[in-house]
Amino acid sequence: MEDEYITLQTIFDIVKNDAHPQTYLCSAREIILRQFCGWDVIQRHLQLLAEKEFIVVKQLDKIAISITQSGIDRVKAAASRHASFYDVADKITEA
């Protein structure tokens, strides 16, 4: 599995309970606190996810990330096939 999808799952987990998850502006800090990789790796993931139009990265006073409907659909599709990206990642690292 491509690691950037774990970052997408992280963003989805942050916004999923919001009434309007696509308009929630996720901070870099929120993502960093939930990931086990460094900011440089997360930045590469964000770039790849933005290129695939799963997220939008905005440079406001600070960087802000929002998930797109396409990103939400991707996470939900993976969840229906694999439970969640985290579960799949756990199984890979246990092997």
Structural domain spans, the chain: 4-94
In this structure, the number of other CB atoms found within 10 A of the CB of residue 79 comes to 16
| Mean of pLDDT values over 72-76 | 90
In this structure, the number of other CB atoms found within 10 A of the CB of residue 62 comes to 10
Query: pLDDT band for position 9 (50/70/90)?
Result: very high
Domain 4-94 fold is Arc Repressor Mutant, subunit A (1.10.10)
Beta strands in 1-95 (DSSP E): 26-27, 55-59, 63-67
The per-residue pLDDT for range 39-67, each reduced to its tens digit, is: 999 999 999 999 999 999 998 888 899 99
- Per-residue model confidence (pLDDT) at position 91: 45
